[in-house]
A and B are shown apart, each in its own frame.
Chain A
Amino acid sequence: MSYHLTLAETETSLRKAARACGLDWGLAEEAGKAARWLAAFNLPGPETMLAHLQQLAGKDYRAFIPQGSAQPWHASGGLLCPIITGAALADRSAQMLDGKVFTLGPTAYPLLLAATVGQAARCHQTVFTTAWAGVRVSCFENGLSIEGNHDDLLLTRVDAVSCQQGDLSSPQQLPSTLAYAIDEEIVKHINELAFKIYAPATEASRAGAGAGLTDND
């Protein structure tokens, strides 16, 4: 059954789910933003993020991060995490503005990487283009363009990815602000993960919340 998940709910629930799967808060925030960004363009950001987080859960962070500075970047565990790597690339956006092209080896869910890097486009008022297989995804300050084979967007892993400053004159799609239609079962799974960061209630926590006074006055 279809469920309408608002963009705010998308960001919040995926941020919490990412935290529950072991990402530190700062990276979990990137995951929430990336999922929201994709959903605003009616791309399956929440679903893809959930799938990736489920793979990440319980694993060692260090196995997924880029090793050294030599290109192409690669992870010791075999696959680069798109959130960790996307954030690392966003942190190097000044180098991309200087013309540097980053190349990556085997990477999980490259669409998530494109969206995570893309968050930096708004602050630089520019466009960053991520390319893999037969598709190029460009994130603008407030827009998106997809060129090439759309079937490649949802690849779960690819052997090579490139990321660089893109062409500002490309035609772009503008984001929607409406709720994102998503399978209710997926929302359930996301919320189950998000729920893991909540502390079980105790008598003390209940006592501490309200005033403990009647409202019949």
Chain B
Amino acid sequence: MDCADKNPMPDASNFRRPPEVVMRLARMGSFHQTRLSFMRSLLRRLKNEDWKFKRNLWAIDERGFGRAVYTVYGPERNYSLVAFSHDLPDHMRSDRVIATAWDATFALFDGIPCEADLDRLKQNVPKQEAGRISDSELSLSRANRSVRLWQHVVECLAAGKQPDREQVEAVGYLVRTTAVYGSGKFGAADRLSIADRPEVSAPFQAELLSVWLTRAFSLDLVEHIAAAQGGEQAVAIDPELRCRFGVGNSTGLGMAPFLINHPALLNNWMMAREEALARVRALPQAEAPAITDFKQHFERARFNVAQWHSEHPIQIEKLATLRADLELMSSYIADKSLSADHPWDRFYRWAEANLSLEGQEQMVSLLIEPYGELVDELTQCMDADEHLAFFIDGAMPLARLREIIETQCQWALQVDYEQPENRARFWYTSAEKLEPRVGERFDEPGAEYELPLAVGCDIKQMHTALMVWEGGQTTAEFLLVRPEHRHTARRVQNLAVRPYAEIQDNLIAADMLPIDILRCKLSFFGATKFDPRSDRWVRICMYQDAPFPHELLAAAP
């Protein structure tokens, strides 16, 4: 949809943070989930549209192995998670994408599968990348158990006791997914085949529906195994503790290039988030219910941050500053009036001056919480037709192309790429697993396989070429002779109409942290508890405290 036409607050653009402030890796790597995040918009839709739920098949043996089907019924279409639970020896359990076996494997089926579908999926889904799914499936994924918590929960429940809350909250989930593939990968239905379905046209809705149902499966499975072991004395998990179980995810570099390869999408995600913040900052007053709501969400954030642990030095430091920032925010709320003129804008500007990036971005998430009516419609603007960003305006004068670079890409021009530290890395695809990786340009072989992800460097090279160009003065004439700049010309022209389309940092710098890109993307999904395992690998939690399907949705007949 064209969001400009629907804007109820045209003045809000005066409060919008500019791309040069927002599109920096350090800030993007400090993003938190918001009410616009895709998991939350998915569950809002299921609830608002009165979707139904049913576990249509549970053929799991007493050891926990077998198959299950979970179906959600919408107003027009149904979707089913098909789950296979396997016997996986401990030595084969790996969070690397190069693993070849998992505790459980899944596909999201478009509709309700028949027996033949299940048999076909049984032949392929457990093999993951080595298998093949079809136009009838929307996603392919797998998960491994969190061994320690899984065993603890089974033992407790089988003995008739509740699991230890501290242990549950320290881990946060029973299973971790490692990859959730959709959009035509490994035979799955093409993204365009669902693009006209309102329930799954927003980004990653099918994949995140699959993950939500996976969470339900993991809880059902652990209770099933405990019941088989404990017999009559076994108990189920108390509902209040049960909702503290999310579903984990362990993800790495494979996901990082996505944001760079989808500039129109990145622009729309960022624009929606920034517009939401701007609308709230533009409010002349804060009404009492909104202030109350804000304070409740603030306390919840404090609780969640207290529960958020990481062993990684970078995140440990960020968490310490975030905790301090929350105390400063608490003092501000206690001391300063939120009834002054433009109170949220004052509050935000105070945060900019006094808090770390973690704290500032936490505040962004909190500020828009009370204002669903004002901002939730922006989720309709978060998909994108990348094809429109693909078009090159060949008639554009080269003077204009240079002007875009000089006005919108100073971040690229200011870097001296002759300095080794400014081009220390290169992105490539590994032949071993067909996944993106980052290499050290001066220490490793393979730089000749570099992917076009060195955006800033490429922009500067094109700018240099334009400065000495003496041929025809249109983009078309330039690109015919200098085709090596075609990819970059596309990106630069796109920036003129989609100002939040590019990460404004050097993606091949020695100190670039891939986890910043991962965190940005995962925050848009709605992930929490970011726990980096290295500078390029992160564990997260999804759907913690969210309702389960049988709680959110009425039972299907």
Residues of chain A whose beta carbon lies under 8 Å from any beta carbon of chain B: 4, 6-9, 23-27, 29, 33, 61, 65-66, 84, 87-88, 90-95, 119-120, 122-123, 177-179, 195, 197-202, 204-206, 208-213, 215-217
Contacts and interface: CB of A to CB of B under 8 A. Distances in A.
Interface in B438-491: 438-440, 443-446, 449, 452, 475-476, 479-481, 483-490
B533 interface: yes
B139 interface: no
Contact of B252 (A87, A88, A120, A209): A209
B479 A26 contact: yes
Contacts of B61: none
A199 B490 contact: no
Contacts, number: 183
B452 A205 contact: no
A152 to B, nearest CB: 27
Contact of A205 (B183, B439, B476, B480): B439
26 contacts: A7-B184, A8-B191, A24-B483, A26-B479, A26-B484, A26-B487, A26-B489, A26-B490, A27-B486, A88-B479, A88-B480, A90-B392, A120-B391, A122-B391, A123-B388, A123-B391, A177-B193, A201-B433, A202-B444, A204-B443, A205-B444, A209-B253, A209-B430, A209-B437, A210-B95, A211-B252
A217 B146 contact: yes
Interface in B351-376: none
A204 B185 contact: no
Given A198-B434, A199-B446, A204-B443, A217 B148 contact: yes
Contact of A9 (B95, B185, B445, B480): B185
A65 B479 CA distance: 11
The secondary-structure label for the interface of chain B is mixed
Nearest to B481: A65
A94 B393 CA distance: 8
A215 B144 contact: yes
A199 B428 contact: yes
B551 interface: no
B200 to A, nearest CB: 13
B187 A205 contact: no
Contacts of A7: 184, 190, 192
A216 B90 contact: yes
Contacts of B490: 26, 29
A66 B480 contact: yes
A61 B390 contact: no
A216 B475 CA distance: 55
B483 A8 contact: no
Contacts of A201: 430-433
6 pairs of A and B residues whose beta carbons are closest in the complex: A26-B486, A91-B394, A8-B184, A211-B533, A91-B476, A201-B432
Nearest to B193: A177
B134 interface: yes
Contacts of A199: 428-431, 437, 439, 445-446, 449
Contact of B187 (A119, A179, A213): A179
A209 B536 contact: yes
Contacts of A91: 392, 394, 475-476, 479-480
A66 B472 CA distance: 14
B429 A198 contact: yes
Contacts of A27: 483, 486
A60 to B, nearest CB: 12
B263 to A, nearest CB: 12
A164 to B, nearest CB: 16
B5 to A, nearest CB: 18
A87 B486 contact: yes
B147 interface: yes
B117 interface: no
A205 B490 CA distance: 30
B145 to A, nearest CB: 9
Interface string B110-147: 00000000000000000000001011000000001011
